[in-house]
Amino acid sequence: MDDGLATGYAVCVFCASRDGAAPAYREAAVAFGRELARREITLVYGGGRVGLMGALSDAALGAGGRVVGVIPDFLRDREVAHTGLSELVMVDDLFERKSVMIERADAFVALPGGIGTFDEILEVIAWRQLRQLRQPIGLLDVDGYFEPWQALLRHCAREGFLAAGEVSHIIVEADATTLLDALLEADPA
C-alpha cells in the first residue's frame, strides 16, 4: 500500500513574509508544512522566519521535517532569516535565490502571497511553458485566494495572448493533502 511518503523529494514553496488578512492563510501554511514533514518531503523556501514563510517552516521543522531556506543577504534582516533550519543558503540577490530554489525542487507550490510570490510562481510557469522545466506546479488555493488570478489567466487566453494549454497543467487544490497527492501523481511533461 502507498503510504504517501516521498523520501528524497523536495517541494519549493513560494509564499509571503506576511500573515495576510485571514487566519486561514496561516493555518494552511502550517498544515502544508506538517504534511510535507509527514511525507518526508524536503521543504525548499525563501528562508524567512516571519509571515507565512515562518509558519510554514516552523510547522515542517516542528513535525521533524527537513527545511532548506534560500535568502539573499540584503533580506537577512527584513525577512528575518530563519537560523534554525536544516540548511540556510545565503545568496547575493533575488535572481540567485530563485535559481537555487528552482534547482533544488522536484515540484513547485504557491501559497497566498503578494508581488514576490506571484513573481516566483510566474517565473516557473513561464519556464515550464518554454520547456525549461518539467516539474509539476501547484497552487494552494486557500478560500479562493487564487481565483481572481486564474480568471486573469483565462482572460489572457480568451484575448489570444496565451494558449489555454500553457496553464492547464497548474494543479489547483484547496487543501495540503489533496495538493501533495496530485503533485506526486503528476506526470512531468
The pLDDT of residue 163 is 84
Residue 4 domain-assigned (yes or no): no
CATH of the domain at 71: 3.40.50.450
The pLDDT of residue 188 is 65
Residue 35 DSSP symbol: H
Residue 38 domain-assigned (yes or no): yes
Residue 125 CA to residue 158 CA, distance in Å, equals 18
Total number of domains constituting the chain: 1
Q: What is the pTM of this model?
A: 0.93
Over its length of 189 residues, how does the chain's per-residue pLDDT go in tens digits? 345 555 689 999 999 999 999 999 999 999 999 999 999 999 999 999 999 999 999 999 999 999 999 999 998 877 689 999 999 999 999 999 999 999 999 999 999 999 999 999 999 999 998 889 999 999 999 999 999 999 999 999 999 998 878 888 899 999 999 999 999 998 666
Residue 98 domain-assigned (yes or no): yes
The pLDDT of residue 1 is 35
Under a CB-based contact definition with an 8 Å cutoff, are residues 149 and 170 in contact?
Answer: no
178-184, long-range: CB < 8 A, 24+ apart = 179/32, 179/109, 179/138, 179/139, 179/140, 180/4, 180/11, 180/35, 180/36, 180/39, 180/41, 181/4, 182/136, 182/138, 183/11, 183/107, 183/109, 183/136, 183/138, 184/4, 184/6, 184/9, 184/107
Q: Which residue range(s) make up the domain with 129?
A: 10-184
Output the CA torsion sign for 108, 24, 19, 90.
negative
Residue 104 domain-assigned (yes or no): yes
53: cell is 514563510
Sheet containing strand 87-91, edge to edge, reads: 87-91, 67-72, 42-45, 10-14, 107-110, 137-140, 171-173
Residue 3 domain-assigned (yes or no): no
The pLDDT of residue 181 is 96
